[in-house]
Structure 1
Amino acid sequence: MHFDGSKMRTGLGAGIVLTSPKGDKLRYVLQIHFAASNNVAEYEALIHGLRLAKELGIRRVLCYGDSDLVVQQSSRDWHAKDANMASYRFLVQQLSGYFEGCEFLHVPTNDNEQVDALA
């Protein structure tokens, strides 16, 4: 799964692309209708992607994102000092516990272009 969130003048958005082992892709876009930071948009994308993967019965997922903060916090490499970020991190940890395997990997923005366009 690739995920990305964005903050623009017109609002917040998020994009998710789930890719099967065979290469089939499911693209998912969402608009976020509340005021928030870009980091919140990134977390919203990740959380919606994990929920979607869970609903589809996926048991193992690699989560690729270009937000170093979200990836490192979700991997438990970094602590979340902000209470709101800590709440998002906790939700991600709850959702990731459903899967037999769930990893969070940072990718350069250039390697996340397909979800960046969706977000």
Structure 2
Amino acid sequence: MVRDLVGTISREKAEMGILLTMAQPTGPMLKEAASAGFYTSPMGGKHPTIQILTIADLLDGKGIDYPSRSQRADLTFKKARRIVSEVQSLPFSALLPIGVDADRTDDDSEDDGTQD
């Protein structure tokens, strides 16, 4: 499985690959993953090219070792400027369905068992 992942990463020119498994990885799997080397991010961080994680690892809080937001060179997207207005309104008016009284509360709709 790891050998296939290494081949896929090479063919697709991907930087890293993650193998998620139910069982603990075997020695040969770990050796194959280690032989893939490391990815060096543009900001200088080194991360294993192939990482093997189990479901138990994820549930225990172990995460994927990848370039964090502070390390990434965000060359693709520029963060948009946030516009904050004091009052935000919808471009349409909200209408209630037919037969619904806007002044009626949930308490008004309960049947108390008495007849009028």
- Answer yes or no: same fold by TM over 0.5: no
> Which TM bucket (shorter chain)?
0.3 to 0.5
Bigger share in strand: 1
Bigger share in helix: 1
Bigger relative contact order, structure 1 or 2 (CA pairs below 8 A, ≥6 apart):
1
* Higher-Rg member (1/2): 2
The TM-score with structure 1 as length reference comes to 0.32
